[in-house]
Structure 1
Amino acid sequence: MDFSPVKKQRVYREIVRQLRKKIEEGEIALGEQLPSERNLAESLSVSRSSVKEAFSVLESVGVVEIKQGSGVYLRNNNHNDVIAKINAIIHGVSVDIVELMEFRLALERDTAYYAAIRGNREEISNIASAYRNLEMAAEQNENGAEEDLAFHMAIARAAGNSIVERVMYMLSSEVREGLKESRESTLHVPARSSMVLKEHKAIYDAIKNGSANIAREAMAVHLEGVRKRYL
């Protein structure tokens, strides 16, 4: 009789989870000092080494600052970014992927804008073809990561900026892996899969119609949705 090994929850993640709750409830404000290592260990009935590990992980992703002789402080960053990075830790998501999503949002938002302005007939046709392939993958309940990447690459080419296109190629392997993981969870929720297609369609329609500002906004909505679904 075979059993699958039970995955043990890392204690530091549970500590991070409880700290997130305090941040969300406003008990720990941005820029404020966190409870001491000893006090937190006693309150949660965990070892001080587990608390130290939690603080170390939070520091490594830029959520807290450890000041020697003073204590641990929550960085005064954007509240949503802090929560997103903490969620990444809790769910075991690579923070590199979270940062990649932030970079994609900054880059591809304007890429869609320029594609709407500069895209010629052939380039728009390539975006349409990439969208149809993505649609077919969804209909066949396939992951669709390759089709998704091809769609975004087609937009990068239509933007008419060789540097943007090269950067997208440089990031393609990382983007592909991120898409595989995020779309894997999407497959199990039909409504979510439909939403992803709808987001892509909105981007394509805006580019096809030459509506640059709408294309930029549609891309922003899509990539922010990707980040939320991933986390």
Structure 2
Amino acid sequence: MSLEPIKKKRVYQDIIDQIRNLLASGKLKAGDQLPSERELASRLFVSRTAVREAISVLESSGIVRTHQGMGVFVKEEAHDLLLFRMDNLINQQGISLIDLLEVRLGIEGQGAYLAAIRRTDHDLDDIKTAYQKLENAYSINKPAAEEDHEFHLTVVKASQNMMLVQHVMLFSDKFLKSVNELRNKSIRSNRSKEVLIEHLAIYKAIEEKDPNKSQKAMWTHLKNAIKRSML
């Protein structure tokens, strides 16, 4: 007898499943506006936090777009493409956040180490700009998944190792989803400042051209992210 382990689903994943079904049935189409956060929470009997988490994941996956002051809309793209992205998203839900962070420890730890040795002044400017964007986003309590991804990507690009860059790009979709999840936890637990300090330590170590310090700063940040993911 062959049995498979039961995977625990979170509420936001159920919300995503229902939105996927609406897309597949044609009841929800490209360009359509989703019900408000309050209405979705009421109709699905879930918390507004779970709805926000689901919308955040859908947005980072390129399925919906938020228009400030107007609401959340399905992106105006081909129906097949939207369904493909949705199915890809759902298939990835079983991937452990901790597994992803552990992979990043190896890739980005080495990236930070080499960045401190090889970075140019232009690379450092790019990392500083990415940090400032992240700082600005954090100041308004924005999840800032794209800003966070840009910071980490500029660090690895400064390593001048294209294999490392390609691996970071390969995991970009999973990276964005994981950052959204971690940032929602950081916001709820008031740890945003702590996370920002960790990013600044990475930048400063690379600025100082200290490879061991840079690698350690990246490891510290990602290990702390693993701890935060367990909260």
In the superposition, the TM-score normalised over structure 2's length comes to 0.59
AA of the residue aligned to 2:193 = S
Tell me, yes or no, if structure 1 residue 173 matches structure 2 residue 173: yes
CA contact (8 A) 2:205 2:213 kept: yes
Equivalent positions of 1:1-231 (< 5 A) are 5=45, 94-190=94-190, 192-231=191-230
State the identity %.
33
Q: Distance in 1 between matches of 2:149 and 2:193?
A: 17
AA of the residue aligned to 1:214 = K
**Which residue is equivalent to 1:24?**
none
Q: How has the CA–CA distance of structure 1 residues 137 and 6 changed in structure 2, closer, same or farther, with 3 Å as cutoff?
A: closer
AA of the residue aligned to 1:200 = H
Q: Distance in 2 between matches of 1:136 and 1:151?
A: 13
Cα RMSD for the two superposed structures? 1.8
Residue 94 (structure 1) shift: 4.1
Q: How has the CA–CA distance of structure 1 residues 212 and 166 changed in structure 2, closer, same or farther, with 3 Å as cutoff?
A: same
Q: How has the CA–CA distance of structure 1 residues 193 and 6 changed in structure 2, closer, same or farther, with 3 Å as cutoff?
A: closer
AA of the residue aligned to 1:215 = S
Residue 189 (structure 1) shift: 2.7
Deviations 1:119-170 (A, max 9, x none): 0010110000000000000111111111000000001110010111111111
Q: Secondary structure at the match of 1:159?
A: coil
Unmatched tracts of structure 1, length 5 or more: 8-92
Residue 6 (structure 1) shift: 7.2
Residue 110 (structure 1) shift: 1.2
Q: Distance in 1 between matches of 2:214 and 2:43?
A: 50
Residue 5 (structure 1) shift: 3.5
**Which residue is equivalent to 2:77?**
none
Q: Which has the larger radius of gyration?
A: 1
CA contact (8 A) 2:97 2:229 kept: no
CA contact (8 A) 2:114 2:159 kept: yes
AA of the residue aligned to 1:135 = E
Unmatched tracts of structure 2, length 5 or more: 1-41, 48-92
Q: Distance in 1 between matches of 2:204 and 2:46?
A: 47
Q: How has the CA–CA distance of structure 1 residues 118 and 185 changed in structure 2, closer, same or farther, with 3 Å as cutoff?
A: same
Q: Distance in 1 between matches of 2:128 and 2:208?
A: 12
Moved over 4 A (4+): none
